[in-house]
Amino acid sequence: MVGGKYGGQVAGVSGPDRPELIDKIKSYVEVTKPRSVFLLVFTALAAMVVAAPPQTLSFGHWLKAVLAITLACSGVNAVSCYVDRDIDAVMERTRHRPIPSGRIAPPYKALYWGLLQFFLALILAAWINWLAFVCILLGMLGYVGIYSLWLKRRSSWNIVLGGFSGGLPVLFGWAAVRGEISLLAVLLALLVVCWIPNHIWNLAIYFREDYRRVGVPMLPVVCAVRRTLLYILLTVVAMLVLSLAVYRVGDLGPVYLWTALLSGLAVLAGNLYLYFNCDNKSAWWLYKLSSPYLFLLFLALIIDKWTGQG
């Protein structure tokens, strides 16, 4: 009898437990910054597709590589959230994240969660080849060690020097397939590295008071916004040039060429507008549009490869 004493008691106990478990799972997923993970994993996947040799790779090899880079990126993000827990609790933009909001408590649980994923990624990468292992390891050292622990609170060039870790998923993807790093792989990685300032500095312009409050010397905080926008423009030009160099070196097709040209010019035009008409709202929109730009560019790489245009 469902409505009896024991039936009602079970319903009363089990009812609240399931939503609580789901919320906890969501918090542990959220602390890995899944949108960031998706974009970085996608760049690695595109590099794998472009680098794939004529012989077909086994499904198991693809699965190991994708799982390794996914665990690496999510693990690194979780560890960085643990490192930044004190400033995240103060900043308006980040105070609702799982650690500062108390949804993951005590905070070291997020640290262990991130390290577990990262060590699993290292094991999988070592299973693939030594170069893939090195790329994963350098990703952790670059993002957590150089950026989060060393430069983020000390230097306004934190994004430039710490941003090199953003290109490592591409190098990992290439190494996982070829066991070596080619010029095309380096150009693709540098493209991601040059994309990062446009992505992060526009965000920092919008939230510069937030960063100033916690003493993080992001470039728009320590120098004039107009000068920051000039530096962004320089990195966008470098990004556009690199995207066209990728076309030349990779002998790619028209899908990639037109995507790189039109989307790159659109990003350049947007940042030129922002330079001459500096306002927070435009900076915010350019930040929001930067991720779709990178996604479309690497999607075009995959389409060219799969359609035989490249």
List the domain boundaries for the chain: 20-179, 182-310
CATH 1.10.357.140 holds for 20-179? yes
Decide if 169 contacts 142 (C-beta within 8 A).
no
In the prediction, which pLDDT does 12 show? Answer: 45
Angle, vertex CA 107, rays to CA 166 and CA 77, nearest 5: 10
Model pLDDT, residue 13: 45
Dihedral sign (CA 136, 197, 91, 42): negative
pLDDT of residue 54: 59
Q: What's the pLDDT score for residue 283?
A: 95
Q: State the pLDDT at residue 263.
A: 97
CB 268 within 8 A of CB 237: yes
pLDDT at 161: 86
CB contact set of 254 (below 8 Å; sequence gap of 6+): 309
Q: What is the mean pLDDT of each run of 10 residues along the chain (310 residues)?
A: 43 61 96 97 97 80 96 98 97 96 97 98 97 96 94 93 93 96 97 96 95 95 95 97 97 96 97 93 95 98 83
How far apart (Å, rounded) are the C-alpha atoms in residues 69 and 186?
18
Q: Global pTM?
A: 0.92
CA distance 101 to 196: 27
Q: Please provide the DSSP assignment of 112-125 as one string.
A: HHHHHHHHHHHHHH
